Structure 1
Amino acid sequence: MAKYSISKLNKVVRGSKRATYDIETINTILDDGFLCHIGYIYNNQAIVIPTAYARKEDKIYIHGSLKNRMMLSLLEAATASISVTHLDGLVLARSAFHHSANYRSVNIFGTVKKVEDPTEKMEALKYIINHMVPGHWENVRKPNKKEFDATLVLEIHIETASAKIRAEGAVDDAEDYNSSIWAGVVPIKQVAYDPVSDTKLPEKTKIPEEVLNYVSKNKS
């Protein structure tokens, strides 16, 4: 089972019993999401921004405009820190102190480079669209030259990473288990609803099968 080596950079200190460095587990958590948070420094100010991403093997792709300050700051720094979190439940304990959450989270540390090759750049954009809705790239108009040239794509090579997972019930102090205070877990899941077609679509425009499949898969 392949794992990332543990270093001062990626070591989980708090709640280390919930940590994993297993590459397959980390990739699964990444593939289950679409939105990440990226930290960067701009004018000596720390900023965290949510953005769309896609994973291809040990690479993360993100995109933005040529003047996007986050993208330019990442290029200048040549390194990036990315966080992805899935909230799976609210853990309501008997005591206020032991309230928690069930979650799957990943922190990535990697090197940044601009994707220059046009073929690779278009492939990265395809990965991002298909990471949103699998197979949907074939249903859309591809970027024209103006759009393509105005888009900056960055590749973040995953140098190391760690995950932290909590998937259990309330953990209370021993003396609280005899109390009549309710405790338990409220499961949380992101779900998809039926597609709402744009009002400007020509009549009888069909919803793509890929969109319907995505909704069906994520309805419950």
Structure 2
Amino acid sequence: MTLSPTLPPLSPTPRTTVGRGRNRMVEDRAELHRLLADALIAHLGVTVARDGVSHPLVLPAAYAVDLDGPDLDGTLYLHGSVAAGWLRTATDSTVCVTVTELDGLVAARSAFHHSMNYRSAVVIGAARLVDDEDERRRALDLIVDHMIPGRSATLRASTRKELAATAVLAVSLHEASMKSRGEGPVDDAEDIEAGVWGGVIPVRRTAGDPVPSDDASGPVPADVVRRAASL
């Protein structure tokens, strides 16, 4: 594999070094950047405590990436309510963020060899609460633009009350790993000879036509039309 010459390779620490399935391991950090640009939902894993008992909690979150952000090898931003208990737990703690895109269902000739085609990333790091107001505003704009590119520039500025109610977590992209599968079934020869069908059902994300709200006025804006067409 030819790595991007200006980027450090993935899996820089033991915690993100792939053990099983090393043939699926992706070393090029540029592939991680492409996955993060394509996907829409991240899952944040934290350990929370309630009534003296700790347990893991995994939550979906909107996110955005700033490759030139203040953290080592770029910054992953996630947002939530300041009232959320998980947010207080995650701040200054080690968290795990995962992002996955499903690309296909792999139908093999045996149950054992059924699989999925996918791209999946794991990011581990200390989550910091973004206190700087300029960075928080930029991060929130990036999260909106990750959903609909160019959208933030068309909106009014967030109010102080809105900013006070919204928290942003930042995680360094330094400690990250990625795995990918993009092929047909890997079957035993005798199963192939048995004549059972094998192959892949491609899975693609698509968007319908934008649906205006009941109180919407004017035509659907260009940024929304472009985004719907690109999904």
TM-score by length of structure 1 reads 0.94
Per the TM alignment, residue 139 of structure 1 is displaced from its structure 2 partner at its CA by: 2.2
Equivalent residues of 2:207, 2:228 under 8 A apart: yes
Equivalent residues of 2:10, 2:26 under 8 A apart: no
Structure-to-structure mapping, 1:1-220, within 5 angstroms: 1=4, 2=7, 3-43=9-49, 44-57=54-67, 58-77=74-93, 79-202=94-217, 205-218=218-231
SS of aligned partner of 1:193: coil
Equivalent residues of 2:184, 2:199 under 8 A apart: yes
Equivalents in 2 of 1:113, 1:149: separation in Å?
17
Equivalents in 2 of 1:63, 1:36: separation in Å?
11
Runs (5+) with no aligned partner, structure 1: none
Give the length in aligned residue pairs. Answer: 215
For 1:155-208, what per-residue CA distance to the aligned partner results, in whole angstroms no more than 9, with x for missing partners?
111231111000000111111111121111000011111000001123xx1211
CA RMSD of aligned residues (A): 1.2
Per the TM alignment, residue 118 of structure 1 is displaced from its structure 2 partner at its CA by: 1.1
**Percent identity over paired residues:** 37
Q: 1:5 to 1:35 in 2, by over 3 A?
A: closer
Equivalents in 2 of 1:4, 1:22: separation in Å?
6
Runs (5+) with no aligned partner, structure 2: 68-73
Per the TM alignment, residue 71 of structure 1 is displaced from its structure 2 partner at its CA by: 1.5
Equivalents in 1 of 2:171, 2:18: separation in Å?
21
The amino acid that maps onto 2:110 is S
Equivalent residues of 1:139, 1:208 under 8 A apart: no
Q: 1:66 to 1:125 in 2, by over 3 A?
A: same
TM-score by length of structure 2 reads 0.89
